[in-house]
Structure 1
Amino acid sequence: MAGFLKQFFKPRQPTSAAAQSEPQASTATPERPAPDPDIVAKATTTGELETLATQGETAAIRREAIGRIQDTEALERISRALKGRDKGAFQAARRKLREQREQAEAEEARQADIERILQDIEELATTQDTKLYQARLDALVSRWGSISGTTESAQTQRYEASLARCRERAQAIADEEAQARAEQEQAQEQQGAVETLAATAEQLASAWPEEGASLSSLDAMIKTQRNRWEQATANRTPDAELKTRFERLMAQLEAYYQALSAWQQHEAQLEQALQEKDTETIEATLAAVNWPEGFPAPPALARARKHRDGQTRSSSEPQQEAPRVDTGELGRTLDALEQSLEQQQLKPSREHFREAQKLQDQLPEKEARQHQARITRLGRQLQELRDWLGFAARPKLESLCEQMEYLADQPMEPEAKAEHIQDLQQQWYDLGGTPDQQLWQRFKDATDRAYEPCHQYFNEKKRLKEANLEKRQYIVGQLQEFVDNLDWAGCDYKAVDRIQRTARREWSDAKPVDYRANRPLQKQFDRLIKALNAGLEAERERNDALKRDVVERAEALIEHDPLREATEGAKALQKEWEAIGITHQQEDRRLWKAFRAACDQIFARLSEQREAREEAFNAAAEEAESLIRQLQDIDPTEVEPAELEAFRKAFRALELPRDRAGALADRFNKAMDGVQQQQMSALRAQRYQQWLAALDQHQSGETPGPESFRHPPMPLEQATQESDTPSQARALCIRVEIVSGAATPPEDQAQRMALQVSRLNEGMKSEQSLESQEDELDSLLATWCELDAADGLTPEHYQRLREALKHWFLRSSGDEASQQT
């Protein structure tokens, strides 16, 4: 420590003669006033703020002025001017510049987004592609709404004008689509009405219903379909062929309805006439009923026709021999009927009875009368069995009615509901039905009501099948055109693969579809997909081989050294892997696992290396923290310069992590500066005490020793330019007050101002460092001690010197404290 202090206090030689000379001043300057705290707020122009930012008296003023400047060029000039002068203000200026650049970039990106939206909406306003038009418009409106900040009036006008045009087009497109849908729905309704009439006519033409046809159901169906046709043709003219078909079917069913209505009125009368063989009544009844051709007639009506035809043939021409029917077959049928009646099997009994009636009708009248009694007897037994089973099954049939009525009121999926309806109908038929028309009508009404939503559902399903069939036809057409024009030599295999995958997905999505109508389309589609896959298969084989080669090269890099080459090679192989085209999915997964495993091993080595380096960085950071703590805990008065230099070397030798190196270096330098500042403060305090002691010795008439000063005294003519001792003492006091910054008595203010002007003219700065002030004060005090204390030196002179030195010492201590802070 003693050696360090000796080195610190050794005499310093002036670097030049100009530095040793100090001209006398004729006047003295007043003490500098404190800066105005509101000076930045009062500045109104960028130029004024720029001046304050570069020439402000305090760092706070400079930073505040920078904070108010918005001009980028001004900030650039300020940052260049402050570089190396004021680190805090320089960083504030650079930070403000960075923020402004980021804001400018963000605003530029925002304007680019606005321009893209405007271009997109202007293009949408004039495009001929109207697919998903409203959705695209909604997306653009959403993008415009998500723009932050305000937009220029010109941009808003462009957007509003294009938006208005787009909305007009969207409305027109929507109207066209609605009209097309309405026309399509009307066409479907027209077709549906005709199909319903055709299905009803086909059902009535297949056979006479066992329980008889329902007049009310037929009437309701005819009225419903007529009303449906009228509504469907109100705004759309039907196809001429479809209209002709509708009118023909409607005429047939209306004729059937009129005949059925007349039949129900004359049924009992005709039965009586047949029993009595009243030909006249039979003829009149047949004429009144006028049953239409093409529809099976009720059994009694058929017998009446047969009776009429027989009478006509017998009266108009000789009797022709009717086709012979095997009477044995009729007998066997009656035997089977008797057996089924004995076993109380209603359904087989009905079938055998109808078959027997049919065979009887084909026999000549004489032979037919021979079996009439037996058929009549078995018919009564069948009726009794029906009545008995009906009575026994009535509770079950009523239960089925209740279940069907309950089912009609339940919200269910149409498919499931239809299955339940079919199950209840099957149970009804298994029970043999009932002759009770009222109970049957109850069950039928409930069935119709329950099936109504199912009917709508299956109609929609049918329309959906037709739409899906059209979609599949379109897919096949597009795919056929693509295959016909495909050039395998220069095609994009990934695009081809995507197309065939998309086609297969869309084909699968287009269901349900009518199976029969779809069969030829399915064959064509399968053939086209097969043709595409044949070309893709060869490309997959080639690409599989390429990926196998990549895997082999990656595995070769696992143990490769140096590691940097291995990692760079792995990254290159990853890019090469991504560039390879389509492969077999299963083989690709297998190869990818092998490739990923090889890359993982390569990068695992890199991770281990990084972890080791990270551990070394962390250890160095801990060592740096330890050095900083030692500096912070050290006693500045006991440390040698060599020890501090050893600290510096040890810190510089550390390899610190990049993210912490700057912060650790700042803390280390701050701690080192703190130690040195404390040493300087201690030495300055010692210097201050030595000066006071020298003044006390000189005032008491003693001569201070050479150790009291580090610098030699100035020549009096150079220091004061005065001739007598009192004037020299006065001038030296003023110079000491100027250097120390202490106040000067009013009577000496003019001389102080003159001395200050003289110092400025000689190039001496108004602001000096503490070291230069200390050197000048030391030389001035040495010169003072050259004066004769008894020749005009007064205690007031010594007191002025002591006050000036005290002011300098206190101010220097405060400056050092602020610098440490």
Structure 2
Amino acid sequence: MPGLLSRLFSPRWRHPDPTVRREAVTRLDATRQREVLEQLAQDEDPDVRLTAVQRLDDPDQLLRLRQQGVVSRELDHQLAELLCGRAGGIELGRRLALVEEISDPALRARIAMHGDNQQLRLTALAGIDDETMLIEQACDNSIAAVRHAAAERVTSEQGLKQLVQTARRDRHVQRNARDRLSHLRADADAIKESMAQRESLLIKLEQHGRAQWEPLYAGRFRHLEREWLSLADQTETEQERRFQEACLRCRKVINDHEAHEQAQQADQQRREQADLDREALVMAFEESLDALRQGEYITQQDLASLRSQKQLLATRWQTLSETHLANPTLRHRYDTALKAYDVINQAWLRLEEHGNALEEAFKSNDEHRLKSIIKACAWPGDLPLEPRLARVQHYLRLERELTGKDNAAEQVERFDKELAMLEQLLDDGAFKAASRLHQRLKHLSENLPSSADQQLASLKRHGARLAELRDWRGFVAGPKREQLCQAIEALEQEDQLTDQDRDRRHRQLVKQWKALGDAAANREQSERFRSTSDRIRATLETWHDQQRHLRQSNLTERVALCDQLEALLEQPAALADPDALRDIRDKARDQWRRTSPVPRDDAEAIGRRFGRIRHRLQALIDRRATEIAEAKRALIGATRQLLEQDMPSRQRAERVKALQHQWRELGRAPKGEEQTLWREFRQLCDDIFAQRDAERNDRTQRLRQRQDEMQALIDRVDAWQPTSSSDAAQLDQILAEANALEPLPSGRRTEGMRRRWTGIIRARRERIERIAIADKVSQWRDVMPLIQAHLKADADCLAGRPCHDVPLTEGMTLSDNLHKAHQQRNDARRNPVPEPQVAEQLARLRVHLALMAGHPIAHHDEPLRLAIQVDRLNDNFGQPLEREDELEAVLCALLATGPVSPQTWQREVNDLDTVLDSLTQLPPP
């Protein structure tokens, strides 16, 4: 019961039956019952929803319902109808504002497709991003501006392809899409080509990074780097990484070479420092020789010091010569100093050889023997005397003076001087010299006069001092001898030392023992020291043999090395590579260092020989390097002359490449000069390549400019439509402009432009030709009154009435061909042909016009069509077919054909008018 009551008293728009609810909707007041209509707009029945939303004419209300989540096709349809202007009568400004608030692309697409205003459609189109919807708008929208705007927003290659295929309605959209697709493909091809160029450039750069350094290495690297940077496209991450790695490898090669050059520069500095060191060594040795000559006496210590200095000089000189050869001036000074030393040393050796005999003769006062020994010693006159020689010379002179005819006073005076010398020797501790002089004075004291008691007393006193000095030397030398004996015995027992260290220590002890002389000497210690030393020598005999064998082997290798180098220097190659010679020099120096030591007696001679060889080898290297420097200067001159010549930069670049190849084959010039020459040559080469690159860039820029100008010309011609046959002259002018822009750069873009240009020119030629044909048809229709007059005259003549000529009406002008055809038509009435023949001629002309217009030919006219085609081929063999002239010829033949009966003309006239109408139709723009 409650359900029944609720149904009886509830509103009808809530009735369960959809039909009742739909009828109730039509009775609702849209102003006061708007909320009810909104509820019914969400009804489950489609018809109820449609009826309810049709009563809602406020788009704001419908939009609010959509925002609240109400989704129905009827609601969207009503909203689209209101915004499109088909219902509601809403002003345009409000609709534009509402369309901008809509975010549903489907609803915007419907408004853009069916809106009543162009601005409204464009506003709706602006919110659509789906490319499929944009393509649909570009193809099916009825407003051209909307189609064009939608087509402009299609950017993908697939979308442009679809536009080209489906945009049949708008040729502009289709053509624009085709052009953009061509541009897109051209850009893609350009990017692909640029990527290929980058890949090729990367391969060259990576190969360059793995190559060895050469004089043009850095220039090539900079050229490849500039080419990489000149490419405008964005690079991929992998390519950029490879580029950076290749650059790092190239820079490492350049840095390594620069480090090598710095090392060579440092080597040159070391060479100069070595020359300074040699000069200082030679100067010091020369000063020592001068000081030795200017001294009062020459002693064993002086000679030992000079010998040590000479050994140091020879060692240091040899070390420096192994690194760098000396110049000839220093070498001459060094050789002169060594010769002077050899003279002094040989004199000293002769003195040492006759030393014992000299002592014995001196002790025995054998004046004749002393003179012969002094003569055998051949002491140089520019040297001061050795103390023993001075003492002997003094003795001989004193002997002559004391045994001479001098008086007693003079003898005593000279004896006093000798006593003063003896006192000085005792004060200096010179025991041996003082002892010899004391013995000599004792011998000479026997010849003194009896009044020389004071001198004899002084001699006795000095003798006591000499004995005291002898005792003191024995007191000091005794413990020293014992220490040396213990030391050499300990050395014999030592088993941890190497043979080399044992030999060095043994030599030092023997030298110290000899230095003691006869001080505190006794037979027991001497035998003890000597026997121990002999045993040590016996243990070292094997090692000494090995050392001798090693020294001899090293000497043999050094001699063989010198022989090889001398053989090389005797017959040097005319074009010997300085780098190869430098390598030989360095390897020879290393081998010389490895073959050390050599026998002491042969070391100096072989060292001098090797030094001379190295000097000659270095002179050969310097000579060849100088020749290479001269050749490279000639190449620099040729390059500079090439830079100044007037020739194409490409040819100049090819020639400079050949000069670079010659530069690489020459080798290296002298150090320091090579870098200077290379910098000058590289700068000239860089200038030449820069000119080539600049010209290439200018040429590329000009080609691109031509390409852009050609593109602008294509766009201009594409937008131009001929309107008369006289536009053929303008088309010829356009073709002349296009020919002036040739040649264009090769590439996909140019190929696409050429295809588009060919199509546009073909279309414009066809349009001009159709316009000319339409003009001919128009001229034909202008002479239709004359044709009607001819037809009337033909009918009168065929009916048996008198035949007469048709005159030209006043003001009518005919072309020469038409005027000739007019006369032929008048002549044809005077000399008529059979009616079937005239009918066949008219049919033939009709079929001919149908062929020109492209109309289908009936089956019964096929023989005529074949005959006409054969005639057209024969008449135009070897010449292009001009449709305008052909049409004029057919129309003139049509005018000249007669007489034509009215029945025959009526049978053909409709087909002729249809064909002529089709010929006047122009192709779409």
TM-score range, shorter chain: 0.3 to 0.5
What TM-score comes out, normalization by structure 1 length? 0.32
If asked which structure has higher relative contact order (CA below 8 Å, sep 6+), I would say 1
